[in-house]
Structure 1
Amino acid sequence: MTTPPTFAPRLDARLEAVLSLIQADTHADIGTDHAGLPIRLVQLGRVRRCIGIELNAPPLALARRQVARAGLSGQIDLRQGDGLAPLQPGEAESVSMTGLGAGTIAAVLERGRQAGRLPARAVVQCNDSPLSLRRWARVAGYWLSAETLAHGHWPYPVLALTRAAGTDPAYGDLPLEAALRFGPRLLRERHPLLRRVLADAYGRYAPAAAPGRPAADELAAVLAALEYLGWTARDLQEERQS
């Protein structure tokens, strides 16, 4: 019989979604904070070894105490540093980053890629529109291999990016700008939280969408997504009122 862990950090819905997309021998969690994700990854057998990287000393000290409390100091290696800099090339098979803006995450991944430290798979959760992340992935040679939305203060985007050659097939036969903004796989799968995302975007851009203004382009992407899904603006208004 397997003995339950004496200490198991509780993860919120967004980190549970990230955890579900990670499976590796060695994984690196960038900006690990209190090391909750690495601890659960090891405890659940989704990774054999984890490297947690944290820039700031106070959360790193707490992470060390939590890892020791879980009895996992031999499997979780905690390091202080910025982004992927403390990671050696080829040391991990995948990385994760959570709780940051999409532009910040994309910049960290790009610096790691240029330094040869970015593994072939990255699982990321951003706190805003993932548009810049999806655009970065298409240029950097990473396919969008999976994506979901997690419940929270708003629907949190979670993306899995995998290095691959050629054009990402996830975007085939979709209106490109709508897919970049709202997620090609989310559109194809009609994710249950997608209506809320589109309703929020419609409510934000429709009142300001005068010709020639940036909001007009954003609204056009919303309308293209609606056309693909077979939904109407009225459907979104009902969603906002519910």
Structure 2
Amino acid sequence: MNIQLSPRLKVIADCVIGAKSMADIGTDHGYLPVTLVAGNQVSTAIAVDVNKMPLEKTKKIISTHGLEKSIETRLGSGLSVLEPGEVEVIVIAGMGGLLIRDCLKADSAVAQNTKKLILQPMNNQKILRRYLEENGYQITREELAQEDERIYEVMVVEPGEMVFTNPLEYDLGHHFMANKHPLLKALIDRKISLEEKIRENTRGKDTSFARQQFLASEAYIKKLNEVKKCL
């Protein structure tokens, strides 16, 4: 079975390379750990999922590639099935930013005793970055991946300290802005598109919340357009 990683998973895999061991939280079909171990890019992996059915599919793929001795599967939620320092890299991808934050909070000893976390939140990136800033983490690298109209944000996180000096960095990422990532414009356009929907849904509404949301969306769209002009 030849596994073709999606652009999103290829970016995540590239961020893992160099580690001896990794855990993939919410592994689904196990494509990421199987590809990394089969390609000799990591020596061992742990594939974790909260649901039994995806994990059974992962086991079959592992068996097909003859990797039973190198990849272990574990059924459980978040980081709860790992011991502190058990692996060098933990990947938490394809989940909401709030859920990723909650995983890190629930098993902070595991998260903070890992050399590297690779996080790919589907939403609420701002809240996740703020949590990392306030809880002893630093984002050392950020990457973007594009699949059709969707832009995925990937964060490489290590223990340490960081301070965001520009409020927009919580939304757009310090590294994306500082390095003018080639997909940054597409990311901004995507965020503007989502914010425009909020603006239109609150336009002309009488409630105080709706008026505040409309004005906030107007201001946010203006700021994003200003950043885009500088690219």
Same fold (TM over 0.5): yes
Which runs of no fewer than 5 residues in structure 1 stay unpaired? Answer: 1-6, 233-242
Residues 1:89 and 1:203: Cα distance change in structure 2 (over 3 Å): closer
Alignment counterpart, residue 59 of structure 1, candidates 54, 77, 93:
54
Which runs of no fewer than 5 residues in structure 2 stay unpaired? Answer: 204-209
After superposition, give the CA deviation of every residue in 1:206-239 in whole Å (9 maximum; x if it has no partner). Answer: 646989724544554554455456449xxxxxxx
After superposition, give the CA deviation of every residue in 1:18-39 in whole Å (9 maximum; x if it has no partner). Answer: 1010131111111111111001
Residues 1:215 and 1:106: Cα distance change in structure 2 (over 3 Å): farther
Q: Which residue of 2 aligns with 1:139?
A: 134
Q: Which residue of 1 aligns with 2:121?
A: 126
Q: Which residue of 2 aligns with 1:188?
A: 178
Q: 2:189 is aligned with what amino acid? A: A
Residues 1:204 and 1:73: Cα distance change in structure 2 (over 3 Å): closer
Q: Percent identity?
A: 25
Separation (CA, whole Å) in 2 of partners of 1:86 and 1:96: 14
Query: Is the CA contact 1:8–1:70 (under 8 Å) kept in the aligned structure 2?
Result: no
SS at match of 2:168: helix
Q: Which residue of 1 aligns with 2:206?
A: none
SS at match of 2:143: strand
Query: Is the CA contact 1:205–1:216 (under 8 Å) kept in the aligned structure 2?
Result: no
Q: Does 1:105 align with 2:100?
A: yes
Q: Which residue of 2 aligns with 1:14?
A: 8
Q: RMSD across aligned C-alpha pairs, in angstroms? A: 2.3
SS at match of 1:92: coil
Written as runs of structure 1 = structure 2, the 5 A alignment for 1:31-110 is: 31-110=26-105
Query: Is the CA contact 2:192–2:224 (under 8 Å) kept in the aligned structure 1?
Result: no
Shift of 1:194: 1.8
The normalised TM-score by structure 1 is 0.81
Query: Is the CA contact 1:26–1:94 (under 8 Å) kept in the aligned structure 2?
Result: yes
Structure 1 segments, 4+ long, off by >6 Å, are: 209-212
Separation (CA, whole Å) in 2 of partners of 1:220 and 1:203: 14
